[in-house]
Structure 1
């Protein structure tokens, strides 16, 4: 059996406040890298399909009021 031990550089504060959370994020930021932004490619219309909704679900949704009613 492998015993893997992880050591946190700072104690974990589960009851911390926003300042503590921001500090944790600032310490972790150098470890994160953002991927190169890829240009959005157009999607061929033949790859776009509709949504199939079962009849029972369609009836349920039809019976629901619209948002904001």
Structure 2
């Protein structure tokens, strides 16, 4: 959310209390100097012995089955 105390708006323009994508991007651009990216490490494949089945609750399975993107 935009810090309304630090952002000035154009004279006569209403303050955007809810924010929008442009204000969010501006907030992120101002904060990016404070964030650091972790060192990149090469990803390693997961051994097949560590991969187990996925358990889905019956209600979720019925919901996904009813969705055309997943069930048809």
- TM superposition score category, shorter chain reference: 0.5 to 0.7
5+ residue gaps, structure 2, are 8-15
- Higher Rg: 1
Q: Give, in whole Å, the separation in 2 of the partners of 1:18 and 1:66.
A: 30
Q: 2:49 aligns with which of 40, 46, 49?
A: 46
Alignment of 1:1-69 (within 5 A): 10=6, 14-53=17-56, 57=58, 61=62, 64-68=65-69
Higher RCO, Cα 8 Å, sep 6+ = 2
- Normalised to the residue count of structure 2, the TM-score between the two structures is 0.51
Equivalenced residue count is: 57
Question: Which residue in 2 is equivalent to 1:5?
Answer: none
5+ residue gaps, structure 1, are 1-7
- Normalised to the residue count of structure 1, the TM-score between the two structures is 0.52
Question: Moved runs in structure 1, 4+ residues, more than 4 A?
Answer: none
